[in-house]
Amino acid sequence: MNTAQKGTVRSMVFKDGDTWYGVALEFNIVESGDDFDVVMFNLHDAITGYVESQKKIKGSRYAPLNQKSDPEYEAMWKNLHAPKPIKSPYHVKYFGVTQI
């Protein structure tokens, strides 16, 4: 379970057509743009800002840091980690787990 002090978030960046999308699954954050590097930067910045804002809220609110991810993104994540991945129409350039 993620807290404002520790945890992990799964993230991935993929291209659909001419647009790059960056997704933080547990936070339901999606960034988009025309350049992979800009999307990666914006996604990291959004994750950091999201966690920092949760630290400022008094009391224990774990739900915002442990959201149920969108089923489409969850399916993409599972496919990326499958022993025999299914060919995807998206070009996935990055996927991994980030420590918070």
Range of the domain at 49: 8-99
All residues at 6 or more sequence positions from 18 whose CB lies less than 8 Å from its CB, including other chains: 34
* pLDDT tens-place string over residues 31-51: 999 999 999 999 999 999 999
Based on C-alpha coordinates, what's the Rg of the chain?
A: 14
* pLDDT tens-place string over residues 73-92: 999 999 998 888 778 788 99
Q: How many domains does the chain have?
A: 1
Domain assignment of residue 74, yes or no:
yes
Q: What pTM value is reported for the model?
A: 0.89
Domain assignment of residue 1, yes or no:
no
**Whole-angstrom distance, CA of residue 74 vs CA of residue 59:** 29
What CATH code is carried by the domain that includes residue 89?
A: 3.30.160
Domain assignment of residue 3, yes or no:
no
Domain assignment of residue 2, yes or no:
no
Domain assignment of residue 17, yes or no:
yes
